[in-house]
């Protein structure tokens, strides 16, 4: 992920910039050969015109106006010195802005609820990078190398081009007809549907239905198989039934999907995906956790599992990155004060026996433990002078293992006795913490460099019923991220904007573009 000038442009170019950069900056970027734009100016307008392929907005860089000006200067009457200087400066500013945007992103993630630390990499000086690229005579190559060096970034760019190309195709000119039975209806195998031909055309255009297959008279194979593939790619239950949710997803225009991809590309510019040799990444909208190793600059996924995240309505899981430092086997569940006040204390006032049935107890600030409910203890909890905890055991809300990465929101990964929730398609049921489907596999990944922690030993510690904390000698970075578009095995996948953060990012990017000063206007 590091983009050092020495590694990208070569030591000779860097030395040239360090020696002569100040003079070059004072004289401009030297886009002109005399009064005519040179090859580098042509390269610059080509890079800016291609900004959209990275999900950027060409108008942010006055791409069209600069392209017209450079073309006019190359073919028309000679420009006077003032116009040469004006165009020269505009090209320099536009390219520096573009390089900064494609490398670092356009908005501050922390202002839109993405509390990430910046990816660890060398400081990026867009002006210095630009001048070194020009000195080396490789502006186009350097512009590509400034973008995130991630396979998923390149895959998303390909998907973006594919969805943009779909916008004007016949398959998308008319909406699909309503389902039989209206809004509540579902198209089941063997049923008639007036939109079969349109459905087949759309599924084929999306790549879910092989082209050239004979169309059945009713809803049947191969359409059912294609609908299942579509459902799987859009976070829907892959049952093959064409219902309200699946029809709504099929109606989403390619341009809207392209915008999702653009937002995903923007996030990749400031999401720290390669902070260490091993990482754990949670993707909230996908309800999936991946544990992976970074080998030779590439991500190798070792474990992938379903998760349960915070409720979209009121207990959303926050986005941040921290280092996992502990594993707790057979953990206590220290009930967060907010849950104790809002849920547990009112329940205990109505039903004091709930404390014993749930194997809970009071712990006063001095360390005293009480297992009988009293008005004084309930008031102490509300006053912050006591807390409620649940003892290790089969009823414990954290299950039998907890993965701790200290953070201000008190969020962690843990197992759960409510394993049936992992079978749901939408899995936002928690108070904010993240429940994992396969805790033993995750523990084996985390403890990989501690070979004496075998699977048998892990399971024994989890089932002992006695709380024990293991400090990790090598912390493992954990990233809680948010992506509604990604590419897996060459196919684009899309997920609902569960927490509305795509809408927030979209608005922030549009506002950013609106507030930018125009870099160049066509001469009157």
pLDDT at residue 174, rounded to an integer: 93
With cut-offs at 50, 70 and 90, classify the pLDDT of residue 118: low
What one-character DSSP code corresponds to residue 53?
G
Topology of the domain covering 168-252: Muramoyl-pentapeptide Carboxypeptidase; domain 1 (1.10.101)
With cut-offs at 50, 70 and 90, classify the pLDDT of residue 79: confident
pLDDT at residue 120, rounded to an integer: 60
pLDDT at residue 196, rounded to an integer: 95
How much is the average pLDDT of 333-348? 94
pLDDT at residue 30, rounded to an integer: 78
What one-character DSSP code corresponds to residue 277?
S
pLDDT at residue 6, rounded to an integer: 33
Q: Please count the other Cβ atoms lying within 10 Å of the Cβ belonging to residue 407.
A: 16
Spell out a b/e string for 199-215, using b for 16 or more CB atoms within 10 Å of the CB, else e. bbbbbbbbbbbeeeeee
Handedness of CA 52, 58, 60, 61 (dihedral sign): positive
Half-sphere exposure of 384 (CA within 13 A, CB side): 1
Proportion of the chain above pLDDT 90, given as a percent: 80
Beta strands in 296-418 (DSSP E): 298-310, 319-329, 333-334, 360-364, 369-370, 386-390, 401-404, 413-414
How much is the average pLDDT of 155-161? 98
- Phi, psi (degrees; rounded to nearest 5) at 218: -130, 175
Report d(CA 172, CA 156) in Å as an integer.
Answer: 21
Closest CA to 97 of 430, 516, 392: 516
pLDDT at residue 78, rounded to an integer: 78
pLDDT at residue 284, rounded to an integer: 97
Spell out a b/e string for 309-321, using b for 16 or more CB atoms within 10 Å of the CB, else e. bbbbeebbbbbbb
Residues ≥6 apart with Cβ < 8 Å to 72: none
Which position has the token pair 């990430």? Answer: 116
Q: Are 387 and 416 in contact (CB under 8 A)?
A: no
pLDDT at residue 182, rounded to an integer: 65
- Phi, psi (degrees; rounded to nearest 5) at 353: -70, -15
What is the pTM (predicted TM-score) of this model?
A: 0.89
Q: What is the pLDDT of residues 193-235, one digit of tens each?
A: 999 999 999 999 999 999 888 999 999 999 999 999 999 999 9
Distant-in-sequence contacts of 180-183, Cβ < 8 A, 24+ apart: 183/244
**Residue 422, H or E segment:** none
Report d(CA 287, CA 103) in Å as an integer.
Answer: 28
pLDDT at residue 241, rounded to an integer: 94
Tokens representing residue 442 in the block = 């995750």
Instruction: State yes or no: pLDDT of 189 exceeds 60.
Output: yes
Report d(CA 362, CA 296) in Å as an integer.
Answer: 51
Closest CA to 179 of 241, 270, 122: 241
Topology of the domain covering 271-332+395-481: L,D-transpeptidase catalytic domain-like (2.40.440)
Closest CA to 422 of 309, 330, 265: 309
pLDDT at residue 2, rounded to an integer: 35
Angle of the 254-270 helix axis to the 501-515 helix axis, nearest 10: 80
pLDDT at residue 121, rounded to an integer: 62
What one-character DSSP code corresponds to residue 127?
H
């Amino acid at each position: 992920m590091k983009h050092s000038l020495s590694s990208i442009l070569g030591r000779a170019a860097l030395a040239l910039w360090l020696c002569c950069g100040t003079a070059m900056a004072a004289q401009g970027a030297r886009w002109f050969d005399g009064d005519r734009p040179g090859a580098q100016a042509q390269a610059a307008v080509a890079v800016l015109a291609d900004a959209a392929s990275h999900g950027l907005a060409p108008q942010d860089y006055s791409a069209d106006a600069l392209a017209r000006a450079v073309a006019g200067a190359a073919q028309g009457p000679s420009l006077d010195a003032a116009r040469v200087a004006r165009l020269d400066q505009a090209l320099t500013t536009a390219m520096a802005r573009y390089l900064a945007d494609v490398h670092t992103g356009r908005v501050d993630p922390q202002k839109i609820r993405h509390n990430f630390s910046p990816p660890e990499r060398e400081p990026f000086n867009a002006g210095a990078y630009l001048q070194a690229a020009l000195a080396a005579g490789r502006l186009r190559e350097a512009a590509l190398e400034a973008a995130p060096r991630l396979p998923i970034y390149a895959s998303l760019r390909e998907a973006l081009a594919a969805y943009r190309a779909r916008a004007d195709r016949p398959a998308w000119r008319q909406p699909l007809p309503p389902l039989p039975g209206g809004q509540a209806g579902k198209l089941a195998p063997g049923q008639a549907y007036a939109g079969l031909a349109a459905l087949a055309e759309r599924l084929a255009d999306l790549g879910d239905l092989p082209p050239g297959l004979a169309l059945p008279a009713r809803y049947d194979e191969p359409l059912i198989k294609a609908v299942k593939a579509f459902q799987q790619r859009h976070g829907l239950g892959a049952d093959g039934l064409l219902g309200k949710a699946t029809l709504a997803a099929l109606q989403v225009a390619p341009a809207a999907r392209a915008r999702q991809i653009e937002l995903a590309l923007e996030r990749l510019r400031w999401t720290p995906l390669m902070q260490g040799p091993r990482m754990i990444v949670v993707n909230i909208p996908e309800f999936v956790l991946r544990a992976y190793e970074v080998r030779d600059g590439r991500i190798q996924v070792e474990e992938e599992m379903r998760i349960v995240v915070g409720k979209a309505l009121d207990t959303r899981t926050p986005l941040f990155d921290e280092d996992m430092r502990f594993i707790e086997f057979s953990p206590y569940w220290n009930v967060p004060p907010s849950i104790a006040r809002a849920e547990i204390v009112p329940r205990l006032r109505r039903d004091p026996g709930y404390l014993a049935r749930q194997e809970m107890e009071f712990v006063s600030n001095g360390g005293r433990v009480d297992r009988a409910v009293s008005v004084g203890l309930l008031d102490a909890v509300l006053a912050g002078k006591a807390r409620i905890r649940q003892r290790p055991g089969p009823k414990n809300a954290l299950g039998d293992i907890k993965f701790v990465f200290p953070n201000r929101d008190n969020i962690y990964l843990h197992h759960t006795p409510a394993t049936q929730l992992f079978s749901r398609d939408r899995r936002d049921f928690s108070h904010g913490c993240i429940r994992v489907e396969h805790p033993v596999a995750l523990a084996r990944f985390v403890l990989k460099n501690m070979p004496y922690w075998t699977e048998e030993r892990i399971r024994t510690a989890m089932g002992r019923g006695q709380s024990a904390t293991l400090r990790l000698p090598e912390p493992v970075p954990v990233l809680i991220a948010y992506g509604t578009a990604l590419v897996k095995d060459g196919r684009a996948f899309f997920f609902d904007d569960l927490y509305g953060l795509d809408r927030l990012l979209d608005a922030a990017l549009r506002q950013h573009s609106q507030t930018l000063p125009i870099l160049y206007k066509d001469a009157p």
